[in-house]
Amino acid sequence: YGLLSLFFCVSKNLIIYLRNYKNNGQGGGQMNNKVIMVTNNMLIGEKFNEKCQVEFIIGDVNEVFKTVRDYIHKGHELLTHPLMSSVKPNETPYRTVVISKYYKNVVDMESLNYIEESIYSLEKFQKSCGTPAWNDNILKDFRLIDYDLIYNALN
């Protein structure tokens, strides 16, 4: 399975946060219609487009992260960590980040800190290692890994 054999590392705190979001009245158990998925992964759009709001980014992971940061500045909150896998940020060309659909009148500083640290980490790895030129089979694996991480985080 190529890259599918990589270890998946989804933080317990993240899953607890997602469950609390689903159950504390904001998510009401039907989380899909309460979130925005910001992604550059076409598989996410195909699988989730009818279930929730998907903002498809034509660009790289850095563009995804910067779009998420813009949403956070408008009062949305992170619901998944931008770096929620064991794949180094420069290695995968696909990333999906789930944020709250509804926003508050204040910036969630924890969300802002996470996305800023993720942007910094991505840029650091890109400068030192670059992003490999993967073949089509590997790219397909990366799309599936990203989809699987989000699917399991939401279900």
pLDDT at residue number 20: 52
Residue 34 is classified by DSSP as G
- Please give the mean pLDDT across all residues of the chain: 83
Task: Specify which residues 36 forms β-bridges with.
Answer: 53, 99
pLDDT greater at residue 155 or residue 123: 123
Summarised one tens digit per residue, pLDDT across range 62-105 is 999 999 999 999 999 999 999 988 888 888 999 999 999 999 99
pTM for the full predicted model: 0.80
Q: Which residues contact residue 148 at a Cβ distance below 8 angstroms, ignoring those fewer than 6 apart?
A: 8
pLDDT at residue number 18: 52
Alpha helices in the chain (DSSP H): 12-23, 42-48, 61-73, 109-129, 136-154
| Domain boundary assignment for the chain | 2-154
* Overall average pLDDT of the 136-142 stretch: 96
